[in-house]
Amino acid sequence: MKPAVRIAITGAAGNIGYAAAFRISSGEMLGKDQPVILQLIEIEPALEALKGVEMELLDCAFPLLEEIITTADLSVGFKDVDYALLIGSKPRTKGMERSDLLNDNGKIFGPQGRAINDHASRDVKVLVIGNPANTNALIAMSNAPDLSSAQFTSMMRLDHNRALNQLALKTDTPVSDITRLTVWGNHSLTQYPDINHCSIGGESATSLVDMSWYRESFLSKVQKRGAEIINARGASSAASAASAAIDHMRAWVFGTPDDDWTSMGIASTGDYGISEELMFSFPVRCKNGDYEVVRGLDMNDFSQEMIQKTEKELLEEREAVIHLL
Ligand code: NAD
Ligand code: LMR
């Protein structure tokens, strides 16, 4: 058996944490041969509920689950962790935008970034899920000066998966036949789901779908899917968010297929003219535990306009939390 790896999950008693912890413990994130130690982090008032989650995890008798640590102390929760899923934060409710959460949620991620900086494994891989995810990830990253900014990412995989599903439904194709889709920018209404380089069953997506459907229906369907779920469920997406978090980490660790890529919020290094001060979603290829932006894609005028719009929104979010960076 391999030695166990340590995985921190913040907000582990919440809806996404609850959906993620069991799948991670059964090996769906890191493989059926990888033992795990879960380090579940909550705020003090939720520690009792977290005890319940711990009891249920134990009652599953997962062969891969070596140990569970529950705590409200960040120095304990992030100690030596190899992976950190930063979920714990408020979800939005009907009528709110994700950026409306910045005031309440932004301040959570500075102390967590510092604690990761001080206590986690030097190779830790961090995924920020709590909204607004890109800017929260920027805050966490900025507070971890001893780690590489490439170790901090934000979740765009749910948007990527949503876009895959909409295309699959429209073209009556299995999602597994769709490759090279990208969702650029912010996890918000300005995100840009881009099918210009996408292939469906070996054919170019733009030749298979009507571009007026793409611009007038598909884009807003994907951009507004979070709100559509809140309206239907009365609560924000949870199981699909946990599933996307698992997909994101799996891709980062095990790689993306040679003929495909994924969408990840990463610290911009200036690709496609995007400001280096942002956590921005790009098309990325993952290999050997690292990732690299897919460079050289042709961007038409519409795509340029769309990525500049989402960049502008992220710059505004950054400005609003500049005191936390
Ligand atoms: P939830 O309210 O069900 O659970 C949140 C949990 O976080 C609670 O148990 C709470 O006690 C805990 N928490 C709050 N502050 C904390 C802190 N400082 N440290 C540790 N734990 C803390 O919410 P949820 O449905 O699990 O959603 C969590 C976050 O994920 C929200 O911000 C939501 O908007 C976001 N989200 C992001 C995506 C994405 O694609 N990026 C998708 C879905 C949801
Ligand atoms: C989502 O996209 O489902 C999440 O970001 C939750 C939300 O607020 O929409």
- Chain segment 133-150, per-residue pLDDT in tens: 999 999 999 999 999 999
> Percentages helix, strand, coil for the chain, rounded to the nearest 5?
45, 20, 35
CA-nearest residue for atom 27, ligand 1, is 91
- 151, pLDDT greater than 90: yes
Sign of CA dihedral 221, 227, 230, 231: negative
Ligand that lies nearest to the alpha carbon of residue 10, given by its number in the listed order: 1
Mutate to test the pocket of ligand 2, among 16, 89, 92 (most ligand atoms within 8 A of CB): 92
For the CA of 17, the nearest atom of ligand 1: 26
How far apart, in whole angstroms, are the C-alpha atoms of residue 155 and residue 160?
10
What distances in angstroms separate CA 87 from CA 6, 109, 226, 241, 321, one per listed residue? 16, 10, 16, 10, 19
Q: Under DSSP, is residue 63 helix (H, G, I), strand (E, B) or coil?
A: coil
Mean pLDDT of 100-106: 91
- Ligand 2: nearest atom to the Cα of 133: 5
Structure tokens at 136: 């929260």
CB under 8 Å to 50, separation ≥6 — which residues? 12, 13, 40, 42, 70
Q: Is the pLDDT of residue 1 over 90?
A: no
Q: Are 279 and 142 in contact (CB under 8 A)?
A: no
Rounded mean pLDDT of 230-252?
A: 97
Per-residue pLDDT averaged across 50-67, rounded?
Answer: 98
Tokens 């979070």 -> residue: 226
Please name the residues in contact with 216: beta carbons below 8 A apart, sequence gap of 6 or more: none
- Asked if 175 and 205 count as a contact pair (C-beta separation under 8 A), the reply is no
The mean pLDDT of 41-51, rounded to a whole number, is 98
pLDDT surpasses 90 at 109 = yes
pLDDT of residue 149: 98
pLDDT tens, residue by residue, 257-306: 999 999 999 999 999 999 998 999 999 999 999 999 999 999 999 999 99
Six-digit token pair at 256? 């993306």
Give residue 114's pLDDT. Answer: 98
Tokens of 165: 């599903």
Please tell me the distance between residue 223's alpha carbon and the centre of ligand 1 in angstroms: 20
CA distances from 67 to 29, 53, 86, 124, 285 (A): 17, 13, 20, 19, 33
The span from the first CA to the last CA of the chain, in angstroms, equals 41
Question: Which range has the worst mean pLDDT, 16-25, 95-104, 205-214, 222-231?
Answer: 95-104
Beta strands in 98-207 (DSSP E): 125-128, 152-154, 178-179, 182-184, 192-194, 199-200, 203-204
**E strands within the chain?**
5-10, 36-41, 65-71, 83-86, 125-128, 152-154, 178-179, 182-184, 192-194, 199-200, 203-204, 262-267, 279-287, 290-293
Pocket test for ligand 2, best of 101, 102, 236 (most atoms within 8 A of CB): 236
Please give the Cα distance from 8 to 125 (Å, whole number): 10
Q: Which residues line ligand 1 (CB under 6 A)?
A: 10-11, 13-17, 41-43, 46, 87-92, 105, 108, 129-131, 133, 155, 158, 187, 236-238, 241
Which residues surround ligand 2 with Cβ inside 6 Å? Answer: 91-92, 98, 131, 158, 226-227, 229-230, 236-237
Query: Is a pLDDT exceeding 90 seen at residue 94?
Result: no
The whole-number pLDDT of residue 244 equals 98
- State in Å: Cα 98 to ligand 2 middle: 7
**What is the arithmetic mean of pLDDT over 58-84?**
98
CA of residue 43 to ligand 1 center, whole Å: 11
Active site residue 187: yes
Q: Which two structure tokens, joined as six digits, stand for 94?
A: 């009907």
pLDDT digits (tens, 9 = 90+) for 176-215: 999 999 999 999 999 999 999 999 999 999 999 999 999 9
